Amino acid sequence: MININNAVQFQHLIWDRSMKKAKVVVDATCGNGHDLLYLAKRAQKGCHLFGIDIQMKAINSSKELLKTNDIAPDVSLTFIHDSHDLALAHQLKDEVIDLMIFNLGYLPGSNHKVITKPHQTIDAIDKGLHKLSKSGVITIVAYPGTSEGKEEMQSLTSYLSDLEQKLYNVCHWHPMNQINNPPELFILQKR
């Protein structure tokens, strides 16, 4: 059973639906690879998954995790060592994306000073929105428990609130009775 007070788990409900038909999936912050592995195990034949991270340590951890698990041979994986905004602008400029995910903040177990930045995240989301297929989805888990995370979430909230309603459905999910500012989830869908 999925814990509905856990943003990371709750988004799996959205992913599971998207993965039934997804041909191109982008993990814009692949971290240690757990989200990418979840998606790869649910990918349909011919799906291409991209894992992006600014830290080579994250790319290597993700590659190792996926290598040690059974991934269907007809699912392809490409790793991109770059910031998500630049990767979407240059390496993924011609892709039509069905699902794109962001798990913001810092790499667990690593240097907490290397953290996602609001302007880069918003730029990456903006680029991703223009690449989304019809009914394509973006999920973003934000971490308001730190001052940097709170600033990033406030910037995201402001940016996403102004997206054109005729073009995108935008939702914000957050736990109501939890302490310590738990992660929050934003869900965007192209109409």
The predicted pLDDT at position 71 comes to 84
The residue ranges of the chain whose pLDDT is under 50 are none
The predicted pLDDT at position 175 comes to 87
DSSP string, 36-66: HHHHHHHPPTT-EEEEEES-HHHHHHHHHHH
pTM here?
0.95
**pLDDT tens, residue by residue, 122-173:** 999 999 999 999 999 999 999 999 899 999 999 999 999 999 999 999 999 9
Per the listing, tokens 């757990």 go with 34
The predicted pLDDT at position 185 comes to 96
The predicted pLDDT at position 134 comes to 96
The predicted pLDDT at position 42 comes to 96
- The domains found in the chain, sorted by start residue, are 7-190 (3.40.50.150)
The predicted pLDDT at position 8 comes to 85
Q: ∠110-111-114 over CA atoms, to 5°?
A: 115
The predicted pLDDT at position 56 comes to 94
